[in-house]
Amino acid sequence: MGDIGQFLPMILIFVVAYFFMIRPQMKRQKDEKKFSAELKRGDRVITKSGLHGKIVDLNNENSSCVLETMAGKLKFDRSAISMEMSKKLATPVEKK
């Protein structure tokens, strides 16, 4: 029991790190991948750099998409689209 008692704090640190750091990051990556796969024409999105646009075309071969903006059409990689900001754009803002 003495040998296990010495390693118990280290084991607890790894368990806590897994549940509070590693697992949530894995879930977020899974959600980002799902969001990217579910994009369709006509969706209004915001890129991670803050560019607003509407999806005009999707290319599954190189996972890119064409966004229509006020400046014209621009081609982006799907990973450049922000899931959090795009979902905020899709949900109506509640007035207080």
pLDDT recorded at residue 7: 87
Radius of gyration of the chain (CA): 20
3 pLDDT tier (thresholds 50, 70, 90):
confident
Domain 40-96, CATH class in plain words: mainly beta
- Asked if pLDDT for residue 88 goes beyond 90, the answer is no
Please state the φ and ψ torsions of residue 41, each to the nearest 5 degrees.
Answer: -60, 140
Asked if 54 and 41 touch (Cβ cutoff 8 Å), the reply is: no
Average pLDDT over every residue of 49-62: 93
The pLDDT assigned to 58 comes to 93
Task: Report the predicted TM-score, pTM, of the whole model to 2 decimal places.
Answer: 0.71
What's the pLDDT score for residue 95?
A: 57
